[in-house]
Amino acid sequence: MRKLSNRQCQPCTACCDGWVQMNIKGTDVYPGCPCPHSTGKGCNDYANRPLDPCDNFNCGWVIPNSPLPDWMKPHEAKVMVLFNKFQWQGMPVDVAIPVGKRIPPRALNWLKQFAEQHNRPLVYLEQDVINGNIQREQQAIAYGSPAFQQYVLAKIAAGQRLW
């Protein structure tokens, strides 16, 4: 992993634009429904942003020592990566969220290769689209060992959250 801690979010606002499901001061944010404070270039209430989720959000591209290459800035690569979002059998599980309907093949292939090389199970999401409209719910796809895939499928089938 390389040492990069000086990456800046902007002009990317993918997390604020609804691709990450969260609640901001009582307002649900999800695909197709961005944060009401997002201008598309930043936050119009940045000084008053809440600690959770805004300040506590850890985009994998800007974290110190991010292994993500420069070209994987979320608004350019069309994917946000959340490293170590949860644990499975003592291993960190990374989550990849599309910035759009699907994670483009170049980025998804890089993430799968990273998962294999570092023995890190991966869950990546895809948007459900009905009649051209992005739905609130997202499909979770497990990438890793068959046991990990079964674990994810069982949690989803039981209606349980993965993280």
Q: What is the pLDDT of residue 1?
A: 40
pLDDT tens per residue across all 163 residues of the chain: 444 458 888 888 898 888 888 898 899 998 888 999 988 888 888 888 888 888 888 899 999 999 999 999 999 999 999 999 999 999 999 999 999 889 999 999 999 999 999 999 999 999 887 787 777 778 999 999 999 999 999 999 999 989 8
Q: Report the predicted TM-score, pTM, of the whole model to 2 decimal places.
A: 0.89
Smallest CA-to-CA distance from 35 within 95, 135, 46, 126 is with 46
The angle subtended at Cα 83 by Cα 123 and Cα 60, nearest 5°, is 115
Which residues does 64 contact at the CB level (< 8 Å), separation at least 6? 3, 4, 5
